[in-house]
Structure 1
Amino acid sequence: MPTMEIQIPNTPRAEEIKVLANDAFKAHKYSQAIDLYTQAIELNRENAVYWANRAFAHTKLEEYGSAIQDASTAIEIDPKRGAAYLAMGKFRDALKDFQMVKKICPNDPDAAKKLKECEKAVMKLKFEEAIAVPHSQRRSIADSIDFHSIDVEPQYTGARIEGDVVTLDFVKKMMDDFKNQKFLHRRYAFQIVLQTRDMLRALPSLVDVSIQDGKHFTVCGDVHGQFYDLLNIFELNGFPSEDNPYLFNGDFVDRGSFSVEVILTLFAFKCISPSAIHLSRGNHESKSMNKIYGFEGEVRSKLSETFVELFAEVFCCLPLAHVLNEKIFVVHGGLFSVDGVKLSDIKAIDRFCEPPEEDLVVRSHEVKDEGYEIEHDGKLITVFSAPNYCDQMGNKGAFIRFESPDMKPKIVTFSAVPHPDVKPMAYANNFLRISPDACKLSSVVEVEDDTCP
């Protein structure tokens, strides 16, 4: 009879590695923490804390799919899960998990708080579904807005658009006002957003961009509402213009608490010259993410409820991918896992993409310590343009300049700049409005108390 090899968990060594992983987590080195938690798991797969801690580290990097997988394993070992579902806006799934946690841990105050928040969120969803107008009968919110009829009060001293043309002088004045924490009058905000909507609606899902020989083109990654770092990009690389065009590759808003300033600035440059600035849709240009991560609350606070609906509508008009000189494919999250999808499918059918193998792929979506990462023998570049992400990651930001005709990437990195004392996530949903030095998003996927950064 063959003997069965039994693997005995190396618990002491696993605990030693877990301590190192916790230290890495406290230092905001989440990728390193994930690697160390993985080593601990390989030594002892029956400790739910290792799986849960790794899941939480994944959520810090917004790798929610991996977080769900690890949290699912953790709940099989020790029934605790939910934060990843919350982070993705999947309130019904999170509610089921927190109901289970409440039964198992009835005295856990954090679980009780999250359960209550989930119950409220699910009730709100049910109400919205009950009163929702069928999609075929919905009227565009943009069609109901006439910005020309909105009066500008005499006491308003901010930037003004004369007539229907957005000028560079206006945008400079607006950015200066934003820098000093002044708001733009809603008449001009409406004008900028509505004009941008008209331009975006006319674009295909995949946009081909041509860069003439001797000219350059700049690609930026996630900005995430970090307006003062956006100003720094322009300081380092110049304003968007016909001779200095940009592509911002999604995730303009959320997390950072100056998302309104960021999106109005980007849209205003689009109004000045459509070919001077290109915009791709990221995963945070969506209703579900905006409800959770702050943009919706910020828009409601700085503008109005109508703008919440308007931005949601305009975000749906954003292209999903760009091709530069038929050589470089730029998309927010990366390639699809489904085989056989071609660039022509994006143009003709839906929002799917897979470039030929000889294209360079540029994507964003993930924090990188140096602001960028080059992989697959130089065929894949990740660029992230929000330095010191959420005021706690300590990462650099980066952008990429491509020079035509060779289109070789030149990567420029930069550090975060000071901003007013408004914390990230200041407008976020209640269950995500936690201080930067708090490590518990919930009691479900948690790094133990002694690991709080």
Structure 2
Amino acid sequence: MSGNDSGSPTTDSTTTTAVTADDNRKPPPSSSDEDFFSSASVASSSSSDENPPPPPPKIPISWPSDGILSRDWVMDLMTAFDWGSRNLPPSEFPSILPVQVFDSLILSASKILHKEPNCVRIDSGSGADSRVVVVGDVHGQLHDVIFLLRDAGFPADDRVFVFNGDYVDRGAWGLETFLLLLAWKVSMPNRVYLLRGNHESKYCTSVYGFEKEVLTKYGDKGKHAYRKCLGCFEGLPLASIIGEHVYTAHGGLFRSVATTPSKRSKGKKTRKIIVNPEASSLSLGSLEELSKARRSVLDPPWEGPNLIPGDVLWSDPSMSPGLSPNKERGIGLLWGPDCTEEFLKKFNLKLIIRSHEGPDAREKRSGLGGMDEGYTIDHVVESGKLITLFSAPDYPQFQATEERYKNKGSYIVLQPPHFDSPVFHSFEAITPRPKVRFL
């Protein structure tokens, strides 16, 4: 069963336009559509021609002497990024965040992220005011992320945020978006959780814009900054379990990698990994297998023994029963409602929240709802539901095509006592948003 309920939209801003883009592992015929960064590009608000720009905030941002990021420091960083995106060309980004401060932030965040397990267990608290906010793909749309944070309420002792990956690519401010969320993570490590998306990889960022963005913004330090970002991507956890009954991951479910005993010479036993790509041999994996997967790979493999990271990041739901290879993407799986029911029941879950598919992807998928409201309810089964959540309205911001959408973004609020009844908040793109001008 599929659906697309209207939820409880909040519409404090005006929808602009969006465009199509494929999200397959296979590279597109040309990456020229993603070439919205050049040293001559100038970002400015639509009203900047009529009015002088506002005075700059406190820039450049400096690293605190004690290394502790306060809420005020993160808010100052957010203000500086917002101002810079509207008033400075991309090449002047170091005047806002010097590379030394960038290095300190990336290092601090990486230390935290690499220590977290593949599947983080999130205790949201039991207070009446406790909330967990789940966010889908944001794809470098900084100004919509700032709106979302303000609309949902910033991270706090009684408010946890879980971001479901895809922070970069296809938007002009992937670097600012990723760094802002890292700053929140460093400031409140137990209130902010950043999961990995399929775009947090070397492959995707080299094709869909993020690498070029970083090289443009940091100039001769660009390669250094890009490598640091890639290293941080490797540390992002793959999934979360919220309040015992909610599973979140960017793509979704994953296969079991069977192990069978085999013998070495002299009778010594070892474990041999058997990987059979045939659909008939596929079965759902366990949370224990997920916990043992090796996530520290820049590009999750589509063959070999370490298939679980690729499945978690790239898989999609289907209305057809069973588990099968995702031939359209060339990596990951397709899973049906029966698999959703099996996974929920086996692990005593009530809800799966995944992301990964925007309006462009959904228009090509028969039987599944569209992404006009920023979410769809894809499977409704005896044990619970499967939801796809997408938080980038008017997606993607910049691409050279005349085909455009006007989709909303959405985020989900989970509340006590069980945190398994989603409340949807749909929102439109913030306006006016800065423009990237081409020569």
1:370 paired residue number = 373
Count of equivalent residues? 286
Identify if the C-alpha distance between structure 1 residues 350 and 190 changes in structure 2 by more than 3 Å, giving closer, same or farther: closer
1:335 CA displacement: 1.4
SS in 2 for 1:231: helix
Structure 1: gaps spanning 5 or more residues:
1-27, 31-56, 66-84, 88-93, 95-113, 118-155, 427-434, 436-453
Which residue in the other structure is 2:43 paired with? none
**Structure number having the greater strand percentage:** 2
Give the aligned partner of residue 169 of structure 1.
72
1:280 to partner: Cα distance: 0.7
Partner of 1:412, secondary structure, is: strand
> In the TM superposition, what whole-angstrom CA distance separates every residue of 1:75-108 from its partner, at most 9, and x where no partner exists?
xxxxxxxxxx323xxxxxx7xxxxxxxxxxxxxx
When you count helix as a share of all residues, which structure comes out higher?
1
2:111 & 2:18 partners in 1: Cα distance? 42
The amino acid across from 2:408 in the alignment is K
Given the alignment of the two structures, is residue 211 of structure 1 paired with residue 124 of structure 2, yes or no? Answer: yes
Q: 1:413 aligns with which of 404, 417, 426?
A: 426
Q: Residue in 1 aligned with 2:6?
A: none
| Alpha-carbon distance between aligned partners in 2 of 1:29 and 1:266, rounded to the nearest angstrom | 24
Give me the whole-angstrom Cα distance separating, in 2, the residues matched to 1:292 and 1:362.
Answer: 27
Judge conservation of contact 2:253–2:284 (CA < 8 Å) in 1.
Answer: no
Cα deviation for residue 339 of structure 1 reads 1.1
| 1:189-235 deviations in Å (ceiling 9; x for gaps) | 11111100000110111111112222110000000000000010012
CA contact (8 A) 1:241 1:277 kept: no
Work out which of the residue numbers 274, 283, 298 in structure 2 matches 1:339. Answer: 283
With over 3 angstroms needed to count, the CA separation of the structure-2 counterparts of 1:61 and 1:411, relative to structure 1, is farther
Following the alignment from structure 1 to structure 2, what is the Cα–Cα distance between the partners of residues 191 and 29? Answer: 35
Residue 436 of structure 2 aligns with an amino acid whose one-letter code is: V
Residue type at the aligned position of 1:159: I
**Distance in structure 2 (CA, Å) of the matches to 1:209 and 1:299:** 32
Residue among 161, 184, 188 paired with 1:269 = 184
- Find out whether 1:157 has 2:59 as its counterpart: yes
- State the structure with bigger RCO (CA 8 A, min sep 6), 1 or 2: 2
Partner of 2:391: 385
Q: Note the C-alpha offset of 1:29.
A: 10
Please report how far the alpha carbon of residue 350 of structure 1 lies from its aligned counterpart in structure 2 after TM superposition: 4.2
Q: Tell me, what secondary structure is at the counterpart of 2:283? A: coil
Task: Give 2:113's aligned residue.
Answer: 200
- Counterpart in 2 of 1:86? 27
Matches of 2:177 and 2:215 in 1, distance apart? Answer: 15
Any unmatched runs of 5+ in structure 2? 1-16, 33-57, 85-92, 256-281, 296-307, 313-339, 359-370, 398-403
CA RMSD of aligned residues (A): 2.5
* TM, length-normalised to structure 2: 0.61
Aligned to 2:8: none
* Partner SS, residue 396 of structure 2: helix
- Counterpart of 1:389 in 2: which secondary structure? coil
SS in 1 for 2:101: helix
Render the CA deviation track for 1:292-317: whole Å, top value 9, x for unaligned: 11111111111221011111111011
Q: Which residue of 2 aligns with 1:326?
A: 244
Work out the CA distance in 2 between the residues paired with 1:371 and 1:307: 32
Counterpart residue type for residue 204 of structure 1: P
Residues 243 and 418, structure 2, Cα contact 8 Å, conserved in 1:
no
Is 1:312 the equivalent of 2:253? no
- Bigger mean CA offset, 173-182 vs 323-332: 173-182
Residue 172 of structure 1: CA displacement? 1.2
Residue 396 of structure 1 corresponds to which residue in structure 2? 408
8 Å contact from structure 1 (residues 362, 383) kept in 2 = yes
Distance 2:18 2:140 in 1: 22
Q: CA deviation at 1:242?
A: 2.5
Change (3 A) 1:350 1:342: farther
Counterparts of 2:59 and 2:388, CA distance in 1: 41
Range with bigger deviation, 363-372 or 221-230: 363-372
Q: Answer yes or no: is the 8 Å Cα contact 1:385–1:398 preserved in 2.
A: yes
Q: Tell me the secondary structure at the aligned position of residue 400 of structure 1.
A: strand
Higher alpha-carbon Rg: 1
Structure 1 segment 164-313 matched on structure 2, within 5 A: 164-181=67-84, 183-213=96-126, 214=128, 215-303=130-218, 304-313=222-231
Amino acid at match of 2:374: G
Q: Is the 8 A contact 1:331 1:363 kept in 2?
A: yes
The SS at the match of 1:301 is: helix
